[in-house]
A and B are shown apart, each in its own frame.
Chain A
Amino acid sequence: MKRLILLEWQKIKWPVLGTLFAGIVASIILCSTLYKAYALSSQLEVWEIGMGIINFVFPLIAVLPTGWLMYYERKNNFLIYTLPRVSKKDYILAKWIVVAGSAFVTMFAIAFAGVLTALVIIPQIQVMETVIDTVSGQYRTTLTDSHVLGSLFETNALKYGFLLSLWKGVLAALMASMGFIFSLYIKNLFIIMTGPFLYYMLENFTLAVLQIPQYRLVTSFEPTSLSASSISTLSMLTGPGLAILFIVIFVFYFAKLKKVTIYPS
């Protein structure tokens, strides 16, 4: 198994490392420039603002470096030659571990690089307390309300950033898995590469139209993308849950109803 994983890693090493490096650079640049136009009340908000574009394209970051891995091996029937040497299950599992793992590491590194930039590299921001409580006439911090683990956000920003970066990595791994599942059943590279992004956009739009934006995947990815303070644990889990449900339905449709086989038959 270990050898299999190393083998697969060799195949996708350069695209993943390239994305990782480019993403970290982009993240540092974005986090150290964009915040200047905003009035902020906490140092970590620099990171939240800088990540705006990355939030929008994260399925692409997850899928583009690795989505083609299975596609070409299915297309040129390389898979047949692996049959005498390794069990189907092991081979696919190893591939999935590498795909999901590299997406996880890439996204985590990009996000955490942004956290470090915001907290360590750039100078201390001028805190602007803009919201005044009309009842007591005093400053009120809405940060606690608008964040998951809001108290942690205020007391230990680094730990908060670390945890959220981990979660972002998990979601990126989920999107990469979706792309990987697509590549098991579909023979069109374009759909494989952009399918998760398309899912992400359509889900985002549909749920926003249906007036339940708190259950979008992007809300789970970046809880502050919603101004209302309706974020709860449920809203963090519904988006990924829907994505998993979609994957399950997809696999059921292609494997059971359309009877598409992964290995050439």
Chain B
Amino acid sequence: MRAILWRDLRHYFSAKFIFLILGCLLFTFAERQSTAYSYEQFILSMVSEHYYLTFCMMPIFLIFLYKCLEDDFEYVLIRSRKYTHYFFTKSFAILLQTLGFVGVQILLILVVSVGLPFDNQFSMEDNELFNAYAKLFDTPVAAIITALVFMVIGLSVLGIFFQMIHHFFDKKVTSILIIVLYVLMVLGLKIPSFAEIPLIMMNDYVILHYSFSSPFEWIRNTTGIFLVLVIVVISIRYYWNKTPQFNIDIYPTGLTFYYARLILTRKNFMIMIAVVSFIALWKLFNSGMNSEMTQGDYFLLLLYGHGLDGFHMISFLEQLILNGVPLYLLAIFTETLCDSTRLDLMVRMQRKVQWVKAVLLNSAAFIIIYVLFMALVSFSISFIAGLQHNGFSLPVIEVVSANRIILQLLYLKLFDLMWQFLLFFLIYLRWKDVTVAFLIVLSTNALILFPIKWLAFFPTGISNASRLIILEDSSGIPILHAFLILGVGVLIIGGSILFGQYNRFFQT
């Protein structure tokens, strides 16, 4: 066992440490040039300098770690009584390596900062970081020691975790995982909402003061460390000889999944994403990208549709395309349904209602996915464009919350599309003609062009923001009414299809 330990350590501490030393010296000298801190406080500030830690120390640590991962040699394994012994000896080696890794840096910092005045007290009143430390520790030296211990523990737990991953998978998977986790960590620095994702942010385990902002974070991060350790111990202790196998190729059977494979295809998804991104991007550039535009405005404009009065060609076309894409793809799907030689399917079906259930389930899933795509694409575009989050700049009546209105609009869009599909399907069952059914449903979008008041209550296209009372002086209907109308419409048509009308498909 001692031989393994020595071998690992010799392997680790080699000439490559020059990179670490150089990087550390560079950062420390740069910081020391303009510092006004005392000796102890400067060291504390270096130990918690998160730019240095994330962009210099972590990558070097991960690269060193990765280079030391090697396949288990048989002549080494054969001399260990148990695999567990072998593994945890190597884990202990990682702990010692990390100790050395951190020790080298702290030594360098100690040496470089010689000459600063000694003062083992928190004297910087306006420094947020030091204030946070001062609440928990009496002196900077105590804080430094705690931060270093935390760092050693965190880094070695990460190292042991990657060692386990390497044992169960191969080097490729380990490298991909390391890169993904590192990228997530860097993104987490820039995007606050990313950093909220629990347990997968590596720097939470390494940098002590990231846990300061709330007690919840302490619990989260310490649980994270323990969880990783427990997972490693259990999986190595009991499952060390197993090779994980993932059977992703599951083929569920039945009519529903048969249809799902016809409709939920990658090609259809690509078409949906392409159309939605095109319209969303156009909306972004068309609305001028002025600095006042908020995320709420952007969503509202995207879901605005065609207004109630007049005729505006482009917004009408935009509405037709945005609402028509899922309907069109579903219509193609419906056409293949009745076109394929379906006798073999029908013979194996136990009850006819299974067929209509399969079709409706798949269509609902398809529409839900479309609305999700819409939300995701427009959210990411608004995010990349750097739109502000605070409410609306458009004249909106009594804003409760921008997120809530957007969510309501998306739900309405979902129901609206479902209503259009159900109407289409009902007409299809009636006349067995996809083209006619599609064109009729499409033309119901044009009903609002007629100057008749009560046509504003017709469900098709009612999810457009222009037809609801959201903006001031809009001539629409309240959101609640729209929900009611769509709900009743979907229930009536869906019910009539499910309880009776579907039989028409089987009558020739």
**What is the CB-to-nearest-CB distance from A207 to chain B, in angstroms, rounded to a whole number?**
10
Q: Residue A70 at the B interface, CB < 8 A?
A: no
**What is the CB-to-nearest-CB distance from A61 to chain B, in angstroms, rounded to a whole number?**
12
In chain A, positions 165-191 with a C-beta closer than 8 Å to chain B are 187-191
Q: Which of A187, A194, A204 contacts B435 (CB 8 A)?
A: A194
Q: Residue B217 at the A interface, CB < 8 A?
A: no
CB-based contact A190/B434 at 8 Å: yes
Q: Which of B317, B334, B438, B439 contacts A204 (CB 8 A)?
A: B317
**What is the CB-to-nearest-CB distance from B439 to chain A, in angstroms, rounded to a whole number?**
7
**What is the CB-to-nearest-CB distance from A221 to chain B, in angstroms, rounded to a whole number?**
13
Residues of B near A209 (CB, < 8 A) are 282, 286, 314
**B334 to chain A: closest residue by CB:** A190
In chain B, positions 286-325 with a C-beta closer than 8 Å to chain A are 286, 313-314, 317-318, 320-321
CA distance A168 to B317 in the complex (A): 22
Residues of B near A202 (CB, < 8 A) are 321
Q: Residue B331 at the A interface, CB < 8 A?
A: yes
CB-based contact B321/A190 at 8 Å: no
Q: Residue A198 at the B interface, CB < 8 A?
A: yes
Q: Residue A260 at the B interface, CB < 8 A?
A: no
**What is the CB-to-nearest-CB distance from A182 to chain B, in angstroms, rounded to a whole number?**
13
Q: Which of B314, B320, B438 contacts A190 (CB 8 A)?
A: B438
CA distance A187 to B341 in the complex (A): 13
Q: Residue B336 at the A interface, CB < 8 A?
A: yes
Q: Residue A116 at the B interface, CB < 8 A?
A: no
Q: Residue A31 at the B interface, CB < 8 A?
A: no
**What is the CB-to-nearest-CB distance from B99 to chain A, in angstroms, rounded to a whole number?**
61
CA distance A209 to B328 in the complex (A): 22
CA distance A24 to B438 in the complex (A): 24
Contact indicator per residue, chain A 202-241, by CB within 8 Å of chain B (1) or not (0): 1011001100000000000000010000000000000000
**What is the CB-to-nearest-CB distance from A18 to chain B, in angstroms, rounded to a whole number?**
14
Q: Residue A247 at the B interface, CB < 8 A?
A: no
CA distance A200 to B130 in the complex (A): 66
CA distance A13 to B184 in the complex (A): 66
CB-based contact B314/A208 at 8 Å: yes
Q: Residue A113 at the B interface, CB < 8 A?
A: no
In chain B, positions 329-353 with a C-beta closer than 8 Å to chain A are 331-332, 334-336, 339
CB-based contact B314/A191 at 8 Å: no
**A193 to chain B: closest residue by CB:** B435
CB-based contact B335/A189 at 8 Å: yes
Q: Which of B317, B318, B321, B335 contacts A188 (CB 8 A)?
A: B335
CA distance A58 to B152 in the complex (A): 74
Q: Which of A187, A194, A201, A225 contacts B320 (CB 8 A)?
A: A201
Contact indicator per residue, chain B 494-506, by CB within 8 Å of chain A (1) or not (0): 0000000000000
- Asked if A208 meets B313 with Cβ closer than 8 Å, knowing A190-B434, A194-B435, the reply is yes
**What is the CB-to-nearest-CB distance from B434 to chain A, in angstroms, rounded to a whole number?**
4
Residues of B near A194 (CB, < 8 A) are 328, 435, 438-439
**A202 to chain B: closest residue by CB:** B321
**B443 to chain A: closest residue by CB:** A57
**What is the CB-to-nearest-CB distance from B296 to chain A, in angstroms, rounded to a whole number?**
23
Q: Which of A187, A190, A194, A204 neighbours the largest number of chain B CB atoms within 10 Å of its CB?
A: A190
Q: Residue A64 at the B interface, CB < 8 A?
A: yes
**What is the CB-to-nearest-CB distance from A68 to chain B, in angstroms, rounded to a whole number?**
9
Q: Residue A60 at the B interface, CB < 8 A?
A: yes
**What is the CB-to-nearest-CB distance from B143 to chain A, in angstroms, rounded to a whole number?**
58
In chain B, positions 270-285 with a C-beta closer than 8 Å to chain A are 282
CB-based contact A188/B336 at 8 Å: yes
CA distance A224 to B101 in the complex (A): 77
**B321 to chain A: closest residue by CB:** A205
CA distance A19 to B336 in the complex (A): 27
**What is the CB-to-nearest-CB distance from B306 to chain A, in angstroms, rounded to a whole number?**
13
CB-based contact B317/A190 at 8 Å: no
Residues of A near B335 (CB, < 8 A) are 188-191
CA distance A235 to B320 in the complex (A): 25
CB-based contact A188/B282 at 8 Å: no
CA distance A187 to B334 in the complex (A): 14
**A68 to chain B: closest residue by CB:** B435
CA distance A64 to B440 in the complex (A): 14
CA distance A237 to B335 in the complex (A): 35
CA distance A239 to B318 in the complex (A): 20
- Asked if A208 meets B434 with Cβ closer than 8 Å, knowing A188-B335, A188-B336, A190-B335, the reply is no
Residues of A near B336 (CB, < 8 A) are 188
Q: Which of A191, A205, A208 neighbours the largest number of chain B CB atoms within 10 Å of its CB?
A: A205
Q: Which of A60, A188, A189, A191 contacts B439 (CB 8 A)?
A: A60
Residues of B near A189 (CB, < 8 A) are 335, 339, 434-435
CB-based contact A208/B332 at 8 Å: no
**What is the CB-to-nearest-CB distance from B312 to chain A, in angstroms, rounded to a whole number?**
11
Residues of A near B332 (CB, < 8 A) are 188, 190-191
- Asked if A205 meets B439 with Cβ closer than 8 Å, knowing A188-B335, A191-B332, the reply is no
CB-based contact A201/B317 at 8 Å: yes
CA distance A187 to B438 in the complex (A): 18
Residues of A near B331 (CB, < 8 A) are 190
CA distance A164 to B46 in the complex (A): 80
CA distance A204 to B438 in the complex (A): 20
In chain B, positions 238-279 with a C-beta closer than 8 Å to chain A are none
**What is the CB-to-nearest-CB distance from B467 to chain A, in angstroms, rounded to a whole number?**
20
Contact indicator per residue, chain B 143-154, by CB within 8 Å of chain A (1) or not (0): 000000000000
User: A residues engaging B (CB < 8 A)?
Assistant: 60, 64, 187-191, 193-194, 198, 201-202, 204-205, 208-209, 225
5 contacts between A and B (CB under 8 A): A60-B439, A188-B335, A190-B334, A190-B434, A190-B438
The 6 closest A-B pairs by CB, nearest first: A190-B335, A193-B435, A205-B317, A190-B434, A209-B282, A208-B314
